[in-house]
Amino acid sequence: MVNFKNNISLLPYNTFGINVKTSSFIHVRKTDHLLNALKKKSFEKILVIGQGSNVLFTKDYPGLIILMDNHGIEIIKENQKEVIVKVQSGENWHQFVLWCLKNNYGGVENLALIPGKVGAAPIQNIGAYGVEIKDVFLSCNTLELSSLTFKEFNPDECSFGYRDSVFKSKLKGKYIITSVTLKLQKYPHKVNVSYGNLEKILKGKKKTIQNIAESVIKIRSSKLPDPKIIGNCGSFFKNPIISKSQLKDLIKTFKEVPFYSHSKDKIKIPAAWIIEKLGYKGYNENKVGVYKNHSLVLINLGNARGKDVKLLAEKIRSKVLDVFSISLEYEVNVW
Ligand code: EPU
């Protein structure tokens, strides 16, 4: 059963370490408990958190926060080449990656050490080092809040994009993901080491999924702060996508701008580079900082308030707009 709690602090439930309150809260350990709880009481505002690793609270939450903590990893089909795995949404993503590595199932090794739970992964189509969850995604089960019925989504229905899906846009807040089903590869794996310095770090080592994950963990740990030690939500902004002609103009002033092809006529440039160029790397104000090893990460220097994090984020956004004529979008959900 699930107990409703009222007026509790969200401090233990968000990796930014922001101390705000929520009017109501439930901790869900089983999917059918979620359904029973929502049948009992209705709420105008509902927000699901897993690890709270992609959310910034700027004020008290005037509704129900649902902490999904449902567990289970189940092989539902396999052949000699592939295995289909259903994972409950409350499983920790990185622990799931470790389970795959232990069983020698390939496909998610580049996504090692991404904070958060499995249920959040399709919402923002988590991605790192050249791989996104959409590359292994088969379906997800969800609970529709308006009808309290379960609905399965296939990849097309999810409309995955760069750090985006239908659950972040058209259907935002309408469904709760209860499990995710992925298709993974058995040995021999098709690996992807084309991103940045991944190949260089692997030099001399076999390109096994275990070695790739180890290298990814090494790169991430050297650049990104551990949220258990320094409050943060990973990348605060998305990398902006601009047109080729915008890039041409940019290169006139900044010859060294790094860029990656995004689609036929669009280019992605690292927001981290722009922010560093503007001198914000290592900057801090009101107990909020820009991380010294990666300028895309805003950090809590101790007892920061959510509204001060947003103030700094907005200051950076408006400077970027002024100097680069680029409008940065938040990657983090700001409430
Ligand atoms: N860079 C700088 N200054 C910095 C950091 C990076 O100029 O302080 C420039 C460098 O040119 C570097 C480039 O930015 O080569 C790219 O940096 P990085 O490889 O660290 O990747 P990113 O584009 O900043 C994205 C994801 C990360 C993911 C990495 C690796 C987004 C918003 N972020 O960051 O995801 O780990 O690629 O694939 O797409 C997250 O979503 O929370 C996250 C950490």
Question: Token match 């709420």: residue?
Answer: 43
The domain locations on the chain are: 5-68, 73-221, 225-334
| Ligand 1 pocket test, candidate residues 108, 235, 267, most atoms within 8 A of CB | 235
Q: Per the residue annotation, which of 24, 109, 132, 163 is the catalytic one?
A: 163
Q: Comparing 1-5, 105-109, 165-169, 251-255, which segment has the lowest mean pLDDT? A: 1-5
Number of H helices, E strands in the chain: 8, 20
The ligand 1 atom at the shortest distance from the C-alpha of residue 293 is 8
Question: Please, which pLDDT band fits residue 196 given cuts at 50, 70 and 90?
Answer: confident
**Check whether domain 5-68 has CATH 3.40.50.300, yes or no:** no
**Catalytic residue status for 285:** no
Higher pLDDT, 329 or 196: 329
Q: pLDDT for 254-301, tens place per residue? A: 999 999 999 889 999 999 999 999 999 999 999 999 999 999 999 999
Count CB atoms within 10 A of the CB of residue 42: 10
> Ligand 1 in contact with 296 (CB < 6 A)?
yes
User: Which CATH number among 3.40.50.720, 2.40.50.140, 3.40.640.10, 3.90.78.10 corresponds to the domain 225-334?
Assistant: 3.90.78.10
Q: What percent of the chain has pLDDT over 90?
A: 96
227 within ligand 1 shell (Cβ under 6 A): no
Q: Is the peptide bond before 188 cis (omega within 30 degrees of 0)?
A: yes
pLDDT value for 197: 84
- Give the model's pLDDT for residue 149: 97
pLDDT score, position 207: 95
Question: What percent of the chain clears pLDDT 70, i.e. is strictly above it?
Answer: 100
Is residue 294 lining ligand 1, measured as CB closer than 6 Å? yes
Compute the distance between CA of residue 26 and CA of residue 37 in angstroms, rounded to an integer: 8
Closest CA to 138 of 117, 127, 122, 126: 122
Statement: 73-221 belongs to CATH 3.30.465.10: yes
Q: Say yes or no: do domains 5-68 and 73-221 share a fold.
A: no
Residue minimizing CA distance to atom 41 of ligand 1: 235
Decide if 331 is catalytic. yes
Mean pLDDT of the chain: 96
Instruction: Give the per-residue pLDDT at 2.
Output: 85
Using a cut of 0.85, tell me whether the model's pTM lies above it.
yes
Tell me 15's DSSP state. Answer: T
- The number of angstroms, rounded, from the C-alpha of 319 to the middle of its chain's C-alpha atoms is 25
Q: Is the CB of residue 232 below 6 angstroms from any atom belonging to ligand 1?
A: no
**Cβ(239) to ligand 1 under 6 A?**
yes
How far is ligand 1, taken at its centre, from the CA of residue 214, in Å? 18
Nearest CA to ligand 1 atom 25: 128
- Distance CA(97)–CA(213), nearest Å, equals 9
What kind and span of H or E run contains 98?
helix 93-102
Residue 81's pLDDT band (boundaries 50, 70, 90)? very high
- The answer to whether 10 and 67 are in contact (CB under 8 A) is no
| CA-wise closest residue to 227 among 218, 219, 235 | 235
What is the 295 CA–ligand 1 centroid distance (Å)? 9
C-alpha to C-alpha distance for 130 and 175, rounded to whole angstroms: 28
Decide: residue 221, CB within 10 A, 0-12 exposed, 13-18 middle, 19+ buried.
exposed
Nearest to 254 by CA among 269, 243, 267, 239: 269
What is the pLDDT, as a whole number, of residue 1? 78
Condensed to tens digits (0 to 9), the pLDDT of residues 226-257 reads 999 999 999 999 999 999 999 999 999 999 99
Chain segment 122-157, per-residue pLDDT in tens: 999 999 999 999 999 999 999 999 999 999 999 999
Note if 199 is an active site residue: no
pLDDT tens-digit readout, 17-32: 999 999 999 999 999 9
Tell me which of 91, 109, 132, 331 is the catalytic residue.
Answer: 331
